[in-house]
Structure 1
Amino acid sequence: MKLPHKAHVALVDGESFTLFRNDGQIFEPTLTKENSPDLDVTNYSAGVRHQDHIGQELGRTQLEELAHGAAVAEWLNSKAISGDLDQTLIIADPKTLGEMRQHYHSELEKRLVGEIDKTLTGLSTKELEKAIADA
């Protein structure tokens, strides 16, 4: 995958959010960790569509995780609207990414250079860089 120089990378799952910047080249990313914000997870309407009976019985309805994804999307939206965020790659597990997409603002969508729908939060920075290059 092409990751432009100085592009941001948002690494997200249902509990964590880490922000990186690519200080490397377009096909050889070198990620530098940036300050990730403290999020205010308040959007518990996120995930309402997951409130089916079977999902609740099987434990597939995790409102905290889905609300976290919505909070990350809202933070990214605010940064895109204010111009503090330009080219952005979002990496998230499929459920979180699906929830985040429901909250994307058009300004964030304009800045997306890609999405990777995999759980990569447990990887080292070097492994993450390789996963991006191989995507």
Structure 2
Amino acid sequence: MSKTIPAGALVVVADGGKAILLRNSGTEAEVVLGEERRLTLKDFVNDGPSGAGLEDQSPHDTGEATFAKQLAKTLNKMFDQNAFKSIVLIADPHTLGQLRDALHKNVDKAVAYTLSKDYTNHSIKQINEALG
């Protein structure tokens, strides 16, 4: 997958408990990221995990799985509302895998680029540089 960040693309920077939604207000050649919104597990307080948990799964693991599913649900809804045409996913490997598994196939097709790293505690400038 090439490192193309289309103009207007939604850039999701996530880990197992929080996500930063950014937008490329620049061009493919000159990416300019601006923050739109932040989400945490507490934003989904009434949404628990779906399905049966593994017996050896810790509450932390359950929380991460719940967050990934709920983030995917939010992204699926945003896509249905035409909030983005292309999306970039940046997350630690575990969260990225859970997120990709939970995305609707139409959202998955809109993924322009993925980066398997945790940048949630980095500045927007640092994230922008990682994509450049």
TM-score by length of 1: 0.81
Could you tell me how far apart the structure 2 residues matched to 1:60 and 1:28 are? 41
Q: 1:26 aligns with which of 21, 25, 28?
A: 28
SS at match of 2:49: coil
Give 5+ residue unaligned stretches, structure 2.
none
* Percent identical residues: 27
Task: Output the amino acid matched with 2:68.
Answer: G
In the alignment, is residue 118 of structure 1 matched against residue 117 of structure 2?
yes
Distance 1:23 1:46, change over 3 A: farther
The 5 Å alignment of 1:31-42 reads 31-36=33-38, 39-40=43-44, 42=47
Q: CA deviation at 1:52?
A: 6.0
Q: How many residues align?
A: 127
Stretches (4+) displaced over 4 A: none
Contact persistence 2:100–2:108 (CA under 8 A): no
Shift of 1:26: 1.1
Name whichever of 17-26 and 37-46 sits farther off: 37-46
Q: Which of 35, 40, 49 is 1:44 aligned to?
A: 49
TM-score (norm 2): 0.83
